[in-house]
Amino acid sequence: MGKFAEYQLATDFRSRKRFPLSVYFNGLPDTDIANTPLNIIEVKQRVKFQRQDGKEMEIDVMALSDDNRVVLVEVKKRNERVGITVVKDFLEKCNTYATMFADKKIMPAFLSTGGFTEEALLFCEDKEIGTAEKIEYFV
């Protein structure tokens, strides 16, 4: 689910020159890093990697900026709201990725077209995960 939304987001990331991630996602840390423009040099969809124990994980959209910031995005295109369990699973993926690529600054973000439960949204805010219910930037 959400493969076309993943494609749209990845394509939009590729087509933009120097943009802040805050243009797409809310709730990012209120620091300069969220508003400092990204210069995307590589975008991939459905990036697979493994935890130490061999469990396979997948990130829907990965965008690398020329300053070693990496945007990791989970995309859920559903009618129902995303709950806390799905967001925690995504955070686990981000933490695993961050461990594997310790030289990168990870910027997690979650696109859920069905919205978020209040608990999930509060969790995202607490863990500095950007959130969006639609991508208005390319509309």
Give me the helices (H) in 16-117, please: 32-35, 84-100
Tell me the whole-structure pTM to 2 decimals. Answer: 0.89
* % residues pLDDT > 70 (the chain): 91
pLDDT in tens, 39-49: 899 999 999 99
pLDDT in tens, 90-111: 999 999 999 999 999 999 999 9
For residue 135, pLDDT over 80 is answered with: no
* % residues pLDDT > 90 (the chain): 55
3-132 sits in which CATH class? alpha beta
